[in-house]
Chains A and B, each alone.
Chain A
Amino acid sequence: MEIGPILRALTRNKLGVILIALQIAFTMTVMVNAVFIINERSKAMGRPSGLDEPNMFYLSSTGFGEQFNSEVTEQDDLQLLRTMPGIVDAAPTNAIPVSGSGSSNALRLENDPTLPAVISAVYYTDDHALNTMDLNLIAGENFNSSDVLYQTASEARDYDRSVVSLAFAEALFPEEGLESVGRVFYNGDYPVQITGIVERLQTPWPNNSFVEHAMLVPLNFIGSTSTYLIRTEPGERDRLMVETEEILASNNPNRIIRGLKSMDETREETYRLDSAMATILLVVIVTLVFITSMGIVGLAVFGINRRRKQIGTRRALGASHGQILRYFMLENFFISGAGVTLGALFTIGFSIALSSLFEMPTMSWYYTPLGMVLLILIGQLAVLGPSTRAARIQPAIATRSI
């Protein structure tokens, strides 16, 4: 092993070494941090909302004019929807999970505004919500249809019970979990009893810290706009989206149907920015790896050309193909080694900056060593071509005068 001569040869070409080492260091920083960001976003995008998304869609009905009666319209619509073949169930709601818009409340253990609050999304709906969303009830019971209140905006919002998500129950009553069925919490002045707990239900805002806190309440606001969430049999969604819009739009001239959208589309739109970011980062990583590889190849070719005579001499003195190949691979290994060591410092520094400036989670420990190994491998692969060509240099070159 010719470690000594290799290192000494590198000190004679300091600039080349520095250039490649720095390129490797920057490439590693970008690559490792970008991969981490892509991973985090993918994980976030993959979180289930608790709903049977592929088979669900929703639409809104907005009434106008003197002759529009919101209560009758909503009841007729829901009855029609629930009896349509292919539709499993339909529920009125004020907001849709993962959609980006909705209502939230601050809930407390007592009627005392100085106490810390747990924030939760509130879904104003009826007893069909559990079945429509296909939620998994793991404790307690659903509402009865007699529990459901119908109120206009001028009446008090005094629902007194709620079916909540497990995460929300655990946030309010940390020691009790599933046992918290029957416990009471406060929405401002109003007490609310936990009737049932579902395993999972997300808020409309997936990027908030309280994304898993949700409450279903049996309160239906009668206003000019009603939104209906609908679940279909598998495979029937697309057909039913068209049909329900046509039927509802034509059976009542005092309202328009708008906002028809599937849950799949909703999810895609909400996460569009994350998905775009991941694509852009991927392009950046590939470009960087390509450029750095080209740089390594370039420097290797340059260095080898400069030392043709030296290589030829060594070959003439008996060095085998393998020994020449090993020499250059080892030389690249040292340069890459220096590069990834510097790169590890940059990477960790950059990652810490990202976490503190942009409130991102800190990178798991294994990303950096994996990045180092990967870049050394890439470097070795890049230099394989030129090194193989170097190994084939004829010994006869040693004796030529040019």
Chain B
Amino acid sequence: MFFYYLRLSALSYRRNPILSSLMVLAIAIGVGAYMVIFTLNYVMGGNPIPQKSDQLFHLQIDSGNPNTESDPPEQLTYIDARALIEADAAFRETPSSKISGIIEPEGDDARPFSVIGRGAAADFFTMFNVPFLYGTPWDESADRNLQQVAVITKELNERLFGGEDPSGQTLRFHSSNFQIVGVLDDWAPVPKFYDVNNNPFDGGEEIFIPWNLVAPMEFSRSGNTNCWKAPDPGREGFLNSECVWIQYWVELRDGEEEEDYLQFLNNYVAEQKEFGRMPRPMNNALFDVEEWLLKEEVLPNETKILSALAAMLLAVCLLNTIGLLLSKFLGKSGEIGVRQALGAHKGSLFMQHVIEAGFIGLLGGIIGLGVAAAGLEGIKVVLGDDLMMTDWIQLNPPVVAVTLVLAIFATIAAGFYPIWRACNVNPAIHLKTQ
């Protein structure tokens, strides 16, 4: 019977093409516009590493200002980061800081250029499932021995070595020689969860070096630095200060490891308090990826406001659809009367029209995909591609599925009252000749 009803739906569409097309259009616009905003919310507020997001934690250590009520700092001081990486208390861990430096390519006519990079420990690559095109991450011993090794991105490799495997080659970076040990494959998580401090949606760094080199080699810091207390002058003063500029992630495999690590942090902070640091009450915490993104309010308010507005736009389109469906189904009273007289009971009439509503919903959903695709392209244009990554602003399979399901079910829901009204007509009235 399903295919019979489907055929009836198509015939019914052809009989009132204008009315039916208006319905399809209303649903397409409402669902399409809503899905544009849905995509933004889904990706920007989503989980960029769902396979292990509940095992990756960012630390919170409250080394902040005892005289104010402000939130705990979002990053760590150099003293704390060094102490934690030395202690090596987690299954895997990495400090992380954004840096900048100059690369001097080989060849007399090659001009030096500036790049944004990141200092990280060897564990960074295994913790975050970073894919490699050539080579491998450096070994932990390279971190400890302050070896000058580097991992570069695919794009940087194209620029410097024409895309060939550069493993073992020397790169002059920050006026010093680094040995390249690996090249990253395409990797651009959205949001850039491992560093949400400057722009959580930007393209990511081009070169990675062991974090332990950042301070001794006096790299320029490129991220956010916050000091609640003015540091003593000079480089040493800065490194010993309460200025925070370092992100710190740990990987903990289960609840027991989490408890143990939190205990370790508490012991560390208690110890620091005895040295006169950490004047605020103990407030250590571990935030997994999703919790961290929520806490740092990575999803912009704009997307949330747009969600509410898009929902109202969808509501208006559905209200329109109810009106249109009512008009269409009431117009079919004659046909419904005849069917009833021929023995169709209310249930099958209901089913027939639910399927018709679903059919219109499906058509609306398909055209809605077109509307959504156009809308997403429009957003890409309006945002520009120079300030943030916009590659992810496009339809993806989960979004396509949600669009079609939403369109079908919304139209069916909109159709309940009109169908009920239409099926409850007294057949006798419509069987009389006018």
* A and B are partners in one complex rather than unrelated chains: yes
Out of B310, B387, B417, name the residue touching A284 (CB < 8 Å): B310
24 A-B pairs (CB sep. < 8 Å): A15-B417, A19-B319, A22-B315, A26-B313, A26-B315, A37-B305, A64-B104, A113-B65, A153-B235, A155-B233, A188-B229, A258-B113, A273-B383, A280-B379, A284-B33, A284-B313, A287-B313, A288-B312, A291-B317, A295-B320, A295-B323, A302-B327, A350-B308, A358-B305
**B51 in contact (CB, < 8 A):** no
Q: How far is the CB of B288 from chain A (nearest CB, A)?
A: 24
Q: Is A276 touching B383 in the complex (CB atoms < 8 A)?
A: yes
Name, among B230, B304, B312, B386, the residue most crowded by chain A CB atoms within 10 Å (CB to CB): B312
Other A-B contacts than A23-B316, A23-B320, A358-B304, 16 sampled, CB-CB below 8 A, are: A19-B319, A22-B319, A64-B102, A66-B175, A113-B65, A154-B233, A155-B233, A157-B230, A188-B229, A258-B114, A284-B306, A284-B309, A284-B310, A287-B33, A298-B323, A357-B304
Q: Is A276 touching B319 in the complex (CB atoms < 8 A)?
A: no
Contacts of A139 in B (CB 8 A): none
Out of B65, B111, B323, B387, name the residue touching A269 (CB < 8 Å): B387
Out of B102, B309, B316, B324, name the residue touching A62 (CB < 8 Å): B102
**A402 in contact (CB, < 8 A):** yes
Q: Is A298 touching B324 in the complex (CB atoms < 8 A)?
A: yes
| One of A27-35, A50-58, A75-83, A309-317 at the interface | A27-35
**B289 in contact (CB, < 8 A):** no
Interface size class of A (residues with CB under 8 A): 35 or more
A281, closest chain B residue (CB)? B309
Mark out the residues of chain B between 157 and 195 whose CB falls within 8 Å of any chain A CB in the assembled complex.
174-175
Out of A225, A256, A283, A288, name the residue touching B113 (CB < 8 Å): A256
User: 1/0 per residue A349-371: CB within 8 Å of B?
Assistant: 01000100110000000000000
**A16 in contact (CB, < 8 A):** yes
Contacts of A279 in B (CB 8 A): 382
Name, among B304, B323, B324, the residue most crowded by chain A CB atoms within 10 Å (CB to CB): B323
Q: Is B312 touching A358 in the complex (CB atoms < 8 A)?
A: no
Mark out the residues of chain A between 266 and 284 whose CB falls within 8 Å of any chain B CB in the assembled complex.
269, 272-273, 275-277, 279-281, 283-284
Alpha-carbon gap, A113 to B230, bound state (A): 11
The 10 A-B residue pairs with the shortest CB-CB distance in the complex, in nearest-first order:
A154-B234, A188-B230, A276-B382, A156-B233, A295-B320, A26-B312, A358-B301, A64-B102, A114-B67, A19-B323
Name, among B26, B104, B309, B315, the residue most crowded by chain A CB atoms within 10 Å (CB to CB): B309
Contacts of B312 in A (CB 8 A): 26, 29-30, 288
Alpha-carbon gap, A363 to B300, bound state (A): 21
Q: Is A256 touching B111 in the complex (CB atoms < 8 A)?
A: yes
Q: Is A154 touching B317 in the complex (CB atoms < 8 A)?
A: no
A305, closest chain B residue (CB)? B327
B323, closest chain A residue (CB)? A19
Q: Is A276 touching B233 in the complex (CB atoms < 8 A)?
A: no
User: 1/0 per residue B313-349: CB within 8 Å of A?
Assistant: 1011101101110110000000000000000000000
**B360 in contact (CB, < 8 A):** no
Mark out the residues of chain A between 212 and 250 whose CB falls within 8 Å of any chain B CB in the assembled complex.
224-225
Contacts of A154 in B (CB 8 A): 233-235
Q: Is B230 touching A189 in the complex (CB atoms < 8 A)?
A: yes
Mark out the residues of chain A between 86 and 133 whose CB falls within 8 Å of any chain B CB in the assembled complex.
105-106, 113-114
B174, closest chain A residue (CB)? A64
Contacts of B304 in A (CB 8 A): 357-358
Name, among B238, B315, B320, the residue most crowded by chain A CB atoms within 10 Å (CB to CB): B320
A106, closest chain B residue (CB)? B228
Residues of B within 8 A of A (CB): 22, 26, 29-30, 33, 65, 67, 102, 104, 111-114, 174-175, 220, 228-230, 233-235, 238, 300-302, 304-306, 308-310, 312-313, 315-317, 319-320, 322-324, 326-327, 378-379, 382-384, 386-387, 417, 434
**A292 in contact (CB, < 8 A):** yes
**A174 in contact (CB, < 8 A):** no
Contacts of A157 in B (CB 8 A): 230, 233
Contacts of B30 in A (CB 8 A): 291
Contacts of B228 in A (CB 8 A): 106
**A65 in contact (CB, < 8 A):** yes
Residues of A within 8 A of B (CB): 15-16, 19-20, 22-23, 26-27, 29-30, 33-34, 37, 62, 64-66, 105-106, 113-114, 153-157, 187-189, 224-225, 256, 258, 269, 272-273, 275-277, 279-281, 283-284, 287-288, 291-292, 294-295, 298-299, 302, 350, 354, 357-358, 402
Contact A288/B220 with A155-B233, A256-B112 known, Cβ cut-off 8 Å: no
Contacts of B233 in A (CB 8 A): 153-157
Out of B175, B306, B309, B378, name the residue touching A65 (CB < 8 Å): B175
A189, closest chain B residue (CB)? B230
Contacts of A27 in B (CB 8 A): 316
Q: Is A113 touching B67 in the complex (CB atoms < 8 A)?
A: yes
Contacts of A64 in B (CB 8 A): 102, 104, 112, 174-175
A274, closest chain B residue (CB)? B302
A270, closest chain B residue (CB)? B387
Q: Is B67 touching A26 in the complex (CB atoms < 8 A)?
A: no
Alpha-carbon gap, A113 to B305, bound state (A): 39
Contacts of A225 in B (CB 8 A): 220
Alpha-carbon gap, A394 to B301, bound state (A): 56
Alpha-carbon gap, A269 to B322, bound state (A): 43
Out of B111, B114, B230, B417, name the residue touching A187 (CB < 8 Å): B230
